[in-house]
Amino acid sequence: MTDTPLKLFNSLTRALETFTPVHDGEARVYSCGPTVYNYPHIGNMRAYVFADTLGRVLSFKGYKLTHVINITDVGHLTDDADAGEDKMEKMAAAQAQSIWDIAEHYKQAYWADVQALNIRQPAQWTIATDYVPQMIAFAKGIAEKHCYEIDSGLYFDTTTVADYGRLAGPHVLDRIEDEKSAWLRIGETEGKRHWADFAIWRKTPPGETRQMEWDSPWGRGAPGWHLECSVMSGEMLGFPFDIHTGGIDHREIHHPNEIAQNQAHCCTNGLDVPANSGAKIWMHNNFLIDRSGKMSKSAGEFLRLQLLIDKGFHPLAYRMMCLQAHYRSELEFSWENLAAAFTRLKRMVMAVARLRELCETRPNGNPVESVGFAKAFDDEISNDLNTANSLAILELIFGRTDLRPIERLAAVEQIDSVLGLNLLTLTRADLRIRPKSATITEAEIEARLDERLAARAAKDFATSDAIRDGLIAQGVEVMDGDPLRWDWKPDLG
Ligand code: AMP
Ligand code: ZN
């Protein structure tokens, strides 16, 4: 256990709180996972880089971590507040494919991004459709006191729990109540008693069949999206567990609804005691913003991790970009920001390589007290995950020539185990990614550089410069004195 108490911002109390685990020495975390109807965009992946960093910090602080991330393969409608079509059914119809195949394909695509971003495997991925019997049992348990049945399904009556909507912010109910759109929502579902009430079970309309439907006491149909997360988090972690995470949009509807269900299920009262909500701490990452509109999944080519790779960026440059901002701040995406993060990553990887060389040539030296750095890092990361300042501390360590290289390397390794940039494993060659738009092959570049070397040996500097300029025009950076010899320039948008 490290020395500095871990402080985390709890969205429920809107305050920084010292983390005190429900179970001694353990940390149990649930993160809302993706709806696998399409590829994740890079904004979605910010939510998992954040959840992974949180998990790594909890491990670093000495807690035995149990992290659960769910995969939503049923129930999420196009509007979080119960309106619109089922996202999965809609995509399956558009692509004329089985919904199960759609779910499998996009789950695998999401997992590929998870791996590329060095997000650690959670203890468990829970797949929503594996938990339908438990969802029905949960719904049966709260139906009598907290729900009402109408033609379209079983609805949760939000007036039956204390403090409904507290997570969304003080007075949020009054604020939303004023909004005409909120009232219009009631009209969309006949029989709904309050605009905030939400579906626990959605019945398949008479005469229709859905690709995914199950029998229940309320007829054939499918579970509501909010029900899934209450059931999977409670099943895997037990109520109350320590931390529930998600993107900031979930603070408004999805998580308040989960909380209401948890209160009903656990027979807990108001939310002055945060644990009554099912989790002691609710944490939310802010959004990645893209002003070009390329993050919308309905906009044709959208910002997926693969698009970044196609343009010559290593995926961990995106992780670096996320870490440069605080998770609670909005982060604006631009190709220039990403390029700056990529350069920073390259510098760190080169610095590790230099340290390694130094370790070989100067294995011994005067031992120096490096505890100062460990403490500084612990202070920053324990302060609601200040990754931006942690990166600055990492850079200071590289330059501390008064420390033995082996000590510096050990400090870098420890900090990177939390930041997850893979600094001890990546090589400069790994970071050389060919942009899809490149018109020259690696073999051609090598051949041209050999010609250039020959020209220089013959003191023919005009030819040498012409070769270099020609390569630059083709998106290749020539690096004299670097064993890698050349690098691709990423394609900036
Ligand atoms: P979804 O697949 O729509 O359920 O979203 C997966 C996760 O991504 C959720 O935690 C969302 O809150 C989060 N999310 C969605 N858009 C963004 C964004 N632009 N920036 C950061 N997180 C986001
Ligand atoms: Zn969820």
Q: Which residues line ligand 1 (CB under 6 A)?
A: 32, 34-35, 43-44, 46-47, 246-247, 249-250, 285, 287-288, 295
Q: Looking at residue 175, what is its pLDDT?
A: 59
Closest ligand 1 atom to Cα of 247: 12
How many angstroms separate the CA atoms of 36 and 433, rounded? 28
Ligand 1, pocket-test mutation among 249, 294, 328, most atoms within 8 A of CB: 249
pLDDT digits (tens, 9 = 90+) for 429-455: 999 999 999 999 999 999 999 999 999
The CATH class, in words, for 7-285 is: alpha beta
Rg (the chain; Cα; Å): 26
Ligand 1, pocket-test mutation among 11, 32, 44, 291, most atoms within 8 A of CB: 44
Which residue matches tokens 């999965």?
A: 88
- Give the residues of the chain that fall short of pLDDT 50: 180, 183, 186, 366-368
Q: Looking at residue 242, what is its pLDDT?
A: 98
pLDDT digits (tens, 9 = 90+) for 448-457: 999 999 999 9
Nearest CA among 230, 228, 246, 199 for reference residue 72: 228
CA-nearest residue for atom 8, ligand 1, is 44
Tell how far the Cα of 259 is from the centroid of ligand 1, in angstroms: 19
Tell how far the Cα of 6 is from the centroid of ligand 1, in angstroms: 25
DSSP state of 489: P
Ligand with smallest separation from the Cα of 225: 2
Closest ligand 1 atom to Cα of 331: 20
Write down the domain spans for the chain. Answer: 7-285, 297-419, 442-488
Tell how far the Cα of 420 is from the centroid of ligand 1, in angstroms: 21
Residue 226, SS3 per DSSP: helix
Question: Checking DSSP bridges between strand 288-289 and strand 77-79, what pairing results, if any?
Answer: unpaired
The string over 273-303, giving b where at least 16 C-beta atoms fall within 10 Å of a residue's C-beta and e elsewhere, is: ebbbbbbbbbbbbbbbebeeebbebeeeebb
Question: Checking DSSP bridges between strand 26-31 and strand 64-71, what pairing results, if any?
Answer: parallel
CA-nearest residue for atom 2, ligand 1, is 34
Give pTM, 2 decimals.
Answer: 0.94
CA-nearest residue for atom 19, ligand 1, is 43
CA-nearest residue for atom 12, ligand 1, is 247
How many angstroms separate the CA atoms of 273 and 278, rounded? 10
List strand residue ranges (DSSP E) for 270-323, in order: 279-285, 288-289
Ligand with smallest separation from the Cα of 331: 1
Tell how far the Cα of 226 is from the centroid of ligand 2, in angstroms: 6
Tell how far the Cα of 79 is from the centroid of ligand 1, in angstroms: 13
Tell how far the Cα of 133 is from the centroid of ligand 1, in angstroms: 27
Is residue 475 within 8 Å of residue 486, measured between CB atoms? no
Closest ligand 1 atom to Cα of 246: 10
Neighbours of ion ligand 2 (CB under 5 A): 32, 229
Tell how far the Cα of 47 is from the centroid of ligand 1, in angstroms: 6
| Long-range contacts, stretch 291-298, CB < 8 angstroms, 24+ apart | 291/332, 295/41, 295/42, 295/43, 295/333, 297/38, 297/39, 297/41
Distance, first Cα to last Cα, the chain: 44
Tell how far the Cα of 333 is from the centroid of ligand 2, in angstroms: 25
Q: Looking at residue 190, what is its pLDDT?
A: 83
Tell how far the Cα of 254 is from the centroid of ligand 2, in angstroms: 7
DSSP state of 214: B
Is residue 72 within 8 Å of residue 33, measured between CB atoms? yes
